Amino acid sequence: MSITEQEAAAAEAADGDGPPNGAERSQRSSASKRLGRVTTRLALAGGSVAVVGILTGPLQARALGPTGRGELAAVMTPLGFLPTLASLGLGTYVERMVARGKRPGLALGSLLPVCLAIGFGIAALSPLIAGALANGRAVVYTMLVVGLVLFPLSAFLLTLLNVSIGLEEWRPVTICRVIPPAAQLVFIPALFLTHTLTVTSSAVVSFAANMTMLLPLWSTWRRCRPLGFQLAELRAGVVYGAKCWVGGLSSLANSRLDQLLMVALVSSRVLGLYAIAATLATFFISPFVSAISTAAGPRLSRGADELAQRLCRMSLYGAMVVGLGVAVLSPFVLRYVFGPAFTPALPMTLILLVGTVPNAAGGLLSVSVSADGHPGYSARGETLALIVTVAGLAVALPTLGDVGAALVSLAAYTTQFAYMLYAAKRIHGGLYRDYLVLNANDRQTLSALVGRRVTRLSAFVARVASLGTA
């Protein structure tokens, strides 16, 4: 278990068993507050996806209908799957080594040639890949080719983003997360109002937004220069990355394989219904889980065991509360926001909402274990879930259709969480209750957080009421 020299000195001063002194308490409090600020900032950036989805998702659903929405999913699902599939986990290695003090130009320069070679290879094979996935749909084929041709630049941008995270440069990271929803918020309503919102125009907006992420990452690129190269660094990156890649690919497969298989096995209408259900079930929770994982990653790389336990507890109960709220609102949202044509998505939505609870906690434990230098555990946990996913979909998809796919996802998420809980206990220590049961500090934090939000909301309501009476 690796810890920083500062943490080691503090531990030595406390003789390993006494209560922490004032300086150590202040240091921990400061680090906790900074992590909270970064997490909040990233969560707000990721949460903007949810807010924008509330505004633009119904516009796309009403303009495209279930069939058109399914065709858009047939384009975006494979392209969302591809970065993890083609990365070989190299970006994870770059992020970890930069966080541990490696010169950014050396870490990036040693592994970027492999990333770009993979990207250009995929671009060259774009007609074949698109033809295999499009299933005869012309617009799906065309947009897949465009997205695949752009993949080398996407690979470069994602690797730069890993460097920024490792350096804990949160400003470009936050901006990169805001750009796609901002583009959606501007262009999707404009296209809807001008009656030009189609599968093609929606995909083009997404492609253009991803490419503009080069602007905030330009400062990171300049910091990496001059680039260096070490063969030993490349070998270490490939070995470590391969372990992370198996886990990351399995994790993505567990969350996206159902939709990926449905691209070719079900009608566009059924795929469109399932895509809306998956979006509604996850977009309130996923931004926060992603933000926490990103913000805590560098600290977890330096061995923050108690932080891993606390994140697991908080994610479990946070996902439960959010899931209950979304479940209550789902019937209304599907019928009156997305449109009556999407009401058959309700059963899938409710099942997937239950699955977000173990999925959120399992995902955070997977990040903590990998960051601590044990990516093999994460890979095995995701592989177990993938076995459940593949075997379950083979049985459930032909017989139960979209509802069967949702049930399989729930089973896979639960399997992965159970294994990662076992692995985290071995690596981070503690008891199972440390990962599953809120303690007094957690309750105090949640109470203070809710209290501040209620106070601000009450003040806002009072101001609005005073304006109304005036």
pLDDT average, residue stretch 414-419:
90
**Tens digit of each residue's pLDDT (9 = 90 or more) over 343-359:** 888 998 899 999 888 88
Whether residues 294 and 343 share a domain: the answer is yes
Instruction: Measure the CA–CA gap between 261 and 238, rounded to whole angstroms.
Output: 29
Query: Is the pLDDT reported for residue 382 higher than 50?
Result: yes
Q: What is the mean pLDDT of residues 8-27?
A: 42
pLDDT band at 467 (very low <50, low <70, confident <90, very high): very low
In degrees, rounded to 5, the angle at the alpha carbon of residue 187 between the alpha carbons of residues 186 and 193 is 105
Q: Are residues 178 and 307 in the same domain?
A: no
% of the chain surpassing 70 pLDDT? 72
Of residues 280 and 188, which shows the higher confidence score? Answer: 188
- Domain membership of residue 462 (yes or no) is no
Q: End of a domain among 239, 265, 298?
A: 239
Does 14 score more than 50 pLDDT? no
Predicted local distance difference test score (pLDDT) of residue 435: 84
Domain of residue 224: give its range: 29-239
- What pLDDT is recorded for position 201? 92
Give dist(CA 308, CA 32) in Å, integer: 13
Which residues touch 310 (CB under 8 Å, ≥6 apart)? 442
Residue 1 lies in a domain: no
Average pLDDT over residues 234-255: 67
Sign of the Cα torsion 30, 103, 222, 83 reads negative
The residue from 239, 267, 288 where one domain ends is 239
| Same domain? 306 vs 430 | yes
Count of CB atoms situated within 10 Å of the CB of 262: 24
Report pLDDT for 251.
56
Domain membership of residue 467 (yes or no) is no
Highest mean pLDDT: which range of 214-223, 240-249, 444-453: 214-223
- pLDDT digit string (tens) for 65-96? 888 888 888 888 888 777 767 777 777 777 87
Residue 244: which pLDDT band, with cuts at 50, 70 and 90? low
Which residue has better confidence, 470 or 438?
A: 438
Same domain membership, residue 357 and residue 214: no
SS3 assignment, position 138: helix
Residue with tokens 């990169």: 176
Residues 81 and 212 in one domain: yes
List Cβ neighbours of 376 (8 Å cut-off, separation of 6 or more).
243
Decide which of 460 and 280 is more confident. Answer: 280
Mean pLDDT, residues 385-409:
82
225 pLDDT above the threshold of 50: yes
Based on the domain organization, do 231 and 306 belong to the same domain? no
Instruction: Tell me what the mean pLDDT of segment 395-418 comes to.
Output: 85
The whole-number pLDDT of residue 35 equals 52
43-57: per-residue pLDDT in tens? 555 555 555 666 777
pLDDT of residue 146: 92
The dihedral sign for the CA sequence 319, 161, 120, 108: negative
Residues 217 and 260 in one domain: no
Domain end among 169, 204, 239: 239
Same domain, 52 and 156: yes
Rounded Cα distance, 97 and 119, in Å: 22
Instruction: Answer yes or no: do 406 and 278 share one domain.
Output: yes
More confident residue, 335 or 146: 146
Other CB atoms closer than 10 Å to residue 14's CB: what's the count? 13
Give the Cα separation of 184 and 190 in Å (integer). 10
Structure tokens at 216: 């905030």
Polymer length in residues for the chain: 470
328 and 442 part of one domain? yes
With respect to residue 406, please indicate whether it lies within any of the assigned structural domains.
yes
Give 311-321 pLDDT, tens digit per residue. 888 788 888 88
* Alpha carbon distance 155, 87 (integer Å): 8
Q: How many domains would you assign to the chain?
A: 2
Cα Rg of the chain (Å, integer): 23
**Is residue 468 a part of any domain in this protein?**
no
Q: What is the pLDDT of residue 465?
A: 47
Instruction: Measure the CA–CA gap between 159 and 93, rounded to whole angstroms.
Output: 10
pLDDT at 261: 66
Please give the pLDDT value at position 456: 53
Per DSSP, helices labelled H in 167-283 are 170-193, 199-211, 214-224, 231-265, 268-282
Least confident of 133-147, 195-209, 288-302, 439-453: 439-453
| pLDDT attached to residue 124 | 92
Average pLDDT, integer, range 443-465: 53
Residue 335 reports pLDDT greater than 70? yes
Opening angle at CA 41, ends 40 and 47, nearest 5: 80
pLDDT at position 40 over 60: no
Give the C-alpha separation, 128 to 126, whole Å: 6
Give the residue among 278, 236, 238, 281 at the shortest CA–CA distance from 258.
Answer: 278
Between residues 33 and 153, the one the model is more confident about: 153
Examine residue 17 and state whether it is found in any structural domain, yes or no. no
pLDDT of residue 141: 92
- Residue 330 pLDDT > 70, yes or no? yes
Segment 98-156, tens digit of pLDDT: 877 788 888 888 888 888 888 899 899 999 988 888 878 889 899 999 999 998 888 88
In a domain, 254, yes or no: yes
- Same domain? 159 vs 232: yes
Do the Cβ atoms of 44 and 55 come closer than 8 Å? no
* Residue 133 placed within a domain: yes
Same domain, 171 and 136: yes
Asked whether residue 326 carries a pLDDT value surpassing 80, the answer given is yes
Q: Are 424 and 308 in contact (CB under 8 A)?
A: yes
